[in-house]
Structure 1
Amino acid sequence: MRNARATRMSHPLLTWADEVLPEMLVDLEHLIRCESPSSDLTSVARSADLIAAIGRRLIGFDPERLVIDGVTHLRWRIGSPEPDAPRVLLLAHHDTVWPMGSIESHPFSIQDGVLRGPGCFDMLTGLVMALHAAATFADGPGGQLAHAGITLLVTGDEEVGSPTSRALIEQEARGCIATLVLEPSGDTPDGHHGALKIGRKGVSNYRVDITGRAAHAGLEPQKGLNATVELAHQVGVVLGFADPVAGTSVVPTVAHSGTTTNTVPARASFMVDVRALTRAEQARIDEAFATLVSHTGATVTVSGGVNRPPLETAAAESVWRRAHAVSRQLGVELPDAIVVGGASDGNFTAGIGVPTLDGLGAVGGGSHADYEHVMVDHIAPRTALLVALLRDLLGG
């Protein structure tokens, strides 16, 4: 992560980050062991309690606790309270995809420089980095930022599409000079770790429902209207909406049809996951779904639409250039930035026109997978980079 110059003459921020790394690892272990699956609101609330305690210790004051439809989110506002003061939004989430009890089958560990545990990569390490970085700007409610501010927003439902936090995220982002998203980094096509993300595909979700007519499959199948046959036709039509050249994927996922093996199916349905790099492509797909018509005479009904707008590269380029320049001043190497198919809450902030840089969190791999892991040697320099970028954005 660090280049030869940094090895010879370490930047003070790198020295600071190395010194606080043991404390960061303790905080991270506590969060991983706490467990916070998105669907378990009690566990998410308990996780928020722990994060609030860590933040109180580091930042010096309690966060605002925002409970929306039972989901617990946390917000710290550091520095100037003036509405026209330059402000940066630090964006993280504390829910994970891992069900309660996963810590037993996937225990927390650090071995040979690799940290493991449920949610460590996506994105509890990034959350701990954000807490420690924000703390460098805070001396209590007044803080050190007399003429600028930082908002640290920690949401509790990102992994399920941010249904309760989207409006809150967009509210906090409006007027900010930048949003920095602490989701984990990615890998470049040539295998370099730690790439920042300057683009994310937008996400649309659709459900296609088909209503036919039941009949006995053996005695009088001709009296039925087979919903499965219509489903097969519609899946083929929907697949044709994809445009690999434009980077648009259209993937039928969950499907249901029929009741018993000797009954002509009267009902069927399937879900479709759509990813697109531009709003124009999202709009084209939306219009295409509206054109679906029945092939067999069954009734075809479409629901759903755009869930997250794309994080287009134009929204990230200015912040990426500053991050790259800051990394060179620190002596921290950054590979080329990347564009990825997965979405994050950064899609929302970019969607309302706020410059957004993503992937500033952990270096490692295995999001949502059994091999989820974080490379410990990268945590300190990445945290130093985050602090340096915040200083640069807020005018030093």
Structure 2
Amino acid sequence: MAGEAPLDRFRAALPAMLADIEALVTCESPSADHAAVAASAEVVARIGTRLLGVAPERIVLDGCTHLRWRLGDGPTRVLLLGHHDTVWPLGTLATHPFDVTDGVLRGPGCVDMLAGLVLGLHAVATLADRSGVTILVTGDEELGSPSSRALVEAEAAGCAGALVLEAAAGGGALKTERKGVSRYRVEVTGLAAHAGLEPERGVNATVELAHQVLAVNALGDPARGTTVTPTLIAGGTTTNTVPDAGGFAVDVRARDAAEQDRVDAAMRALAPVLPGARLAVTGGPNRPPLAASASAELFALAEVLAARLGLPPLRGAAVGGGSDGNFTAGIGTPTLDGLGAVGGGAHADDEHVLVAELPGRAALVAALTEHLRGQGGERPAAGCRSTPTKSPAGSGPR
């Protein structure tokens, strides 16, 4: 980015960035709607092709459309990772329209993570040499990346770093640690009977559910940051029938793999309390933790580059939410998350982006990409995984 100062270049590009964000926000892309996600992918492809001068590969897995740009002829050294699906259903624009007022941009999916996707594309577009850069944009992250996890892990293997374009944490902090995520379903089978005439003949699935909910809730460990939360629950058929079936979902967040394993073993060891009741537990770990050690080296680099760019000092934050950065860290690739837009309200009615922060974030992503791109190494052969690269041990920034 010789000549013009990086921040000045991105400030000048801000109107174009806002127009690109509007194009993505106004093309609604709820994860479960494959047609909507495919349409959104075309918008992303059009924007990226204009900026990068090359069209992406379209990768359709289980009906979901993902995009990949492998730039230059050399091996991939840095992976920029984002997603274009959102949690918002079709029609949300009627009540949450795209808007920019007083420096605040609003619209469904703007902070999670369409603005981050746009600033990442603009950042890479400014590089004089893009060799060694891969941009992967998935379409099912909000569902837990069921079709794209293997793709994410394959693209990250052997890279010097993965830069995740998810929204920043509060106050613009980078996400240097993420909890691992596990999801379960607990199903109870009882025996129906008339609640008034002969309830003693039944096996009450709702009562069994109550026992299991309390048992599951007790598995959390606040001292270790482990949360085990029973969520959606349902049971029974009619108000005068002893329920013969029911079930509930469980959300688990843990800072380390040992805690994930402990909770997993405890979930699978659950046993019925009521005589005659039967229990089935399905699910398990969905995302490994992004440990602080996986981000420490890249965060230190980002601090140096931010100072050179004249940006405010960076902060790191540990967060409970998961992202595809959990997968890249899980295979040993150094990973820095939360490099996308600064704002708030992800998945909420007040979702928003602070417009003034976009140029600085884009400049930081460009500087990180340029630095990592220049590091040596080879892409693993297709279908193979490289030996994981481990960052120095330690708690890292928080």
TM-score (structure 2 length as normaliser): 0.91
Give 2:100's aligned residue: 110
Structure 1 counterpart of 2:80, from 68, 86, 90: 90
- SS in structure 2 of the partner of residue 203 of structure 1: strand
Structure 2 counterpart of 1:199, from 171, 177, 181: 177
Shift in Å, 1:284: 0.3
Greater Cα shift, 129-138 or 353-362: 129-138
Give 1:190's aligned residue: none
Are 2:306 and 2:314, in contact at CA under 8 Å, matched by a contact in 1? no
Are 1:208 and 1:269, in contact at CA under 8 Å, matched by a contact in 2? yes
1:320-335 equivalence runs, <5 A:
320-335=299-314
Give 1:226's aligned residue: 204
Are 1:133 and 1:386, in contact at CA under 8 Å, matched by a contact in 2? yes
Give 2:139's aligned residue: 156
Task: Give the letter for the 1:106 counterpart.
Answer: H
Q: How far apart, in 1, do the equivalents of 2:195 and 2:39 lie?
A: 53
Are 1:308 and 1:343, in contact at CA under 8 Å, matched by a contact in 2? yes
1:99-248 equivalence runs, <5 A:
99-137=89-127, 144-145=129-130, 148-187=131-170, 193-248=171-226
Give 1:365's aligned residue: 344
Task: Give the letter for the 1:175 counterpart.
Answer: G
Deviations 1:346-384 (A, max 9, x none): 000000000000000000100011100000000011101
1:341 and 2:304 correspond:
no
- SS in structure 1 of the partner of residue 323 of structure 2: coil
Shift in Å, 1:11: 7.6
Structure 1 counterpart of 2:329, from 336, 350, 361: 350
Are 2:79 and 2:134, in contact at CA under 8 Å, matched by a contact in 1? yes
Are 1:90 and 1:181, in contact at CA under 8 Å, matched by a contact in 2? yes
Q: How far apart, in 1, do the equivalents of 2:342 and 2:284 lie?
A: 33
1:38-117 equivalence runs, <5 A:
38-81=31-74, 85=75, 87-117=77-107
Give 2:361's aligned residue: 382
Give 2:385's aligned residue: none
Aligned-residue identity in percent: 57
Q: How far apart, in 1, do the equivalents of 2:349 and 2:61 lie?
A: 31
Structure 1 counterpart of 2:261, from 270, 275, 283: 283
Give 1:309's aligned residue: 288
- SS in structure 2 of the partner of residue 222 of structure 1: helix
Shift in Å, 1:392: 2.0
Instruction: Structure 1: state its 5+ residue gaps.
Output: 1-9, 139-143, 188-192
Q: How far apart, in 2, do the equivalents of 1:11 and 1:345 lie?
A: 34
Instruction: Structure 2: state its 5+ residue gaps.
Output: 376-398
Shift in Å, 1:294: 1.1
Give 1:253's aligned residue: 231
Task: Give the letter for the 1:50 counterpart.
Answer: V
Deviations 1:182-218 (A, max 9, x none): 000011xxxxx10000011111011111111111000
Deviations 1:242-272 (A, max 9, x none): 0000000000001111100111111111110
Task: Give the letter for the 2:19 counterpart.
Answer: V
Shift in Å, 1:334: 3.5
What is the CA RMSD across the aligned residues, in angstroms? 1.3
Number of residues of Structure 1 aligned to a counterpart in Structure 2: 372
Task: Give the letter for the 2:345 counterpart.
Answer: G
Q: How far apart, in 2, do the equivalents of 1:17 and 1:181 lie?
A: 19
Q: How far apart, in 2, do the equivalents of 1:28 and 1:302 lie?
A: 42
Task: Give the letter for the 2:144 counterpart.
Answer: G
